């Protein structure tokens, strides 16, 4: 009788666990309250709650756009956060959910978010993130930068109920961009955009990850590049000299990623010193946090336009 009683207890416990697990597996996300919005994005179609109260943001551009719209998230990747978002980084009420490269899945899950905003750096984690909460891809399209940027801003504004505010901000930014485009449409000088990393250069042209100066501002490229991968096209010092750019825009990758600045004399070596850019004092070292870490948001796009224009005043 005792053995039979023990068996009944064990059986009941197992049955309870199976039922509980089944119920949990059927409910992937925290149950939303209120109206839902259907969002089409690069990775699928997702239902998200209108005016979500608990947003985790993994994309820096989306984060700065939400901040500009007056929305504070519950979780952000505080590693590699640009200085102009220090107030969010230092806010103890906002949870740290890892980095833009390696999100903290357990930390995100513990926050019970209503929505997760992500982009290219987290694309390989989409399924895991979408299992935690509705996740939408909010990254810009390098080959269609400005239109995709505007769509993303208005999409975020729609979700959080800030469309009039976003429209006004976009109109002001569009006027600033128009002024820049007029300036560089009339400028015959040509440019190279380079990432410097441990003694080596990678170049980026139109439609690339760092094509902003060409695609948005209309600065002319010194040459057409064949390799527009995320890492750009590796170029030698000799190729840079042969191309002979009038402007050189350089971003120091290590300064952005590990906080260690390159020696300028090593970057601008004896070969680079043969270019028109060097001879005419037109080598520009760009802010690595702004140009390498962020981008694609209301704040960074505005700052990037100003950064270039201010160098030509």
pLDDT tens column, 15-64 = 444 444 433 333 345 555 568 889 889 888 999 999 999 999 999 999 99
- Is 241 in contact with 274 (CB distance < 8 Å)? yes
Q: Which residue has the higher pLDDT, 279 or 254?
A: 279
Determine how β-strand 220-221 pairs with β-strand 247-252. Answer: unpaired
- Is 145 in contact with 301 (CB distance < 8 Å)? no
Check residue 28 and give its pLDDT: 46
Distance CA 274, CA 220 (A): 20
Lowest mean pLDDT among 29-43, 195-209, 289-303: 29-43
Check residue 307 and give its pLDDT: 96
Q: Output the six-digit token pair for 280.
A: 């005419």
Kindly state the DSSP code that residue 143 receives in the 8-state scheme: G
For residue 56, the surrounding DSSP H or E stretch is: strand 55-57
Q: Output the six-digit token pair for 39.
A: 């969002």
| pTM listed for this prediction | 0.85
Instruction: Give the chain's length.
Output: 313
Check residue 313 and give its pLDDT: 81
Q: Which residue has the higher pLDDT, 226 or 295?
A: 295
Q: From its phi and psi, is residue 188 left (phi > 0), alpha (psi between -120 and 50) or beta?
A: alpha
Nearest to residue 274, comparing CAs of 241, 245, 242?
241
Q: Radius of gyration (Cα) for the chain, nearest Å?
A: 24
User: What is the pLDDT averaged over residues 229-251?
Assistant: 91
Q: What is the pLDDT of residues 124-159, one digit of tens each?
A: 999 999 999 999 999 999 889 999 999 999 999 999
Distant-in-sequence, close-in-space partners of 229: CB < 8 Å, separation ≥ 6: none
pLDDT over 80 (residue 5): no
Tell me the sheet residues that pair with 269: none
Check residue 308 and give its pLDDT: 96
**What is the distance of C-alpha 12 from the center of its chain?**
50
- Is 305 in contact with 176 (CB distance < 8 Å)? yes
Buried b / exposed e along 124-161 (16+ C-beta atoms within 10 A): ebbeebbebbbbbbbbbebeebbebbbebbebbbebbe
259 — pLDDT class (breaks 50, 70, 90):
confident
176 — pLDDT class (breaks 50, 70, 90):
very high
Tell me what percent of the chain is helix, strand and coil, each rounded to the nearest 5.
45, 20, 35
Check residue 33 and give its pLDDT: 57
Enumerate long-range contacts of 218-222, CB under 8 Å, 24 or more apart: 218/180, 218/181, 218/184, 218/185, 219/184, 219/187, 219/190, 219/191, 219/247, 219/308, 220/184, 220/187, 220/188, 220/189, 220/190, 220/191, 221/190, 221/191, 221/192, 222/190, 222/191, 222/192, 222/246
- Is 124 in contact with 105 (CB distance < 8 Å)? no
Check residue 300 and give its pLDDT: 96
How many other C-beta atoms can be found within 10 angstroms of the C-beta atom of residue 204? Answer: 28
Interhelix angle 163-185/298-310, rounded to 10 degrees, is 20
């Amino acid at each position: 009788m005792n053995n039979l009683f023990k068996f009944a207890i064990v059986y009941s416990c197992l049955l309870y666990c199976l039922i509980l697990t089944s119920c949990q597996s059927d409910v992937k996300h925290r149950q939303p309250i209120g109206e839902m919005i259907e969002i089409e994005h690069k990775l699928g179609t997702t239902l998200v709650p209108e005016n979500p109260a608990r947003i985790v943001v993994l994309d820096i551009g989306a984060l700065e756009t939400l901040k500009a719209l007056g929305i504070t998230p519950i979780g952000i990747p505080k590693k590699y956060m640009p200085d102009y978002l220090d107030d969010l980084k230092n806010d103890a009420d906002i949870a740290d959910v890892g980095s833009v490269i390696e999100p903290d899945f357990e930390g995100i899950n513990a926050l019970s978010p209503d929505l997760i905003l992500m982009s290219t750096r987290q694309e390989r984690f989409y399924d895991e993130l979408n299992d935690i909460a509705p996740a939408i891809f909010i990254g810009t399209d390098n080959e269609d930068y400005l239109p995709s940027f505007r769509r993303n801003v208005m999409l975020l504004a729609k979700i959080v109920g800030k469309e009039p505010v976003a429209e006004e901000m976009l109109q002001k930014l569009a006027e600033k961009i128009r002024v820049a485009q007029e300036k560089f449409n009339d400028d015959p000088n040509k440019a190279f955009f380079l990432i410097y990393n441990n003694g080596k250069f990678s170049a980026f042209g139109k439609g690339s990850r760092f094509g902003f100066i060409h695609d948005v501002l209309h600065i002319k490229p010194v040459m057409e590049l064949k390799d527009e991968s995320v890492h750009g096209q590796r170029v030698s010092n000799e190729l840079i000299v042969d191309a002979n750019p009038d402007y050189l825009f350089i971003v120091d990758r290590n300064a952005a990623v590990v906080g260690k600045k390159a020696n300028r004399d090593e970057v601008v070596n004896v070969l680079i010193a043969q270019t028109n850019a060097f001879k005419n004092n037109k080598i520009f070292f760009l802010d690595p946090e702004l140009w390498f870490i962020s981008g694609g948001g209301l704040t960074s796009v505005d700052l990037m336009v100003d950064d270039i224009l201010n160098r030509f005043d």
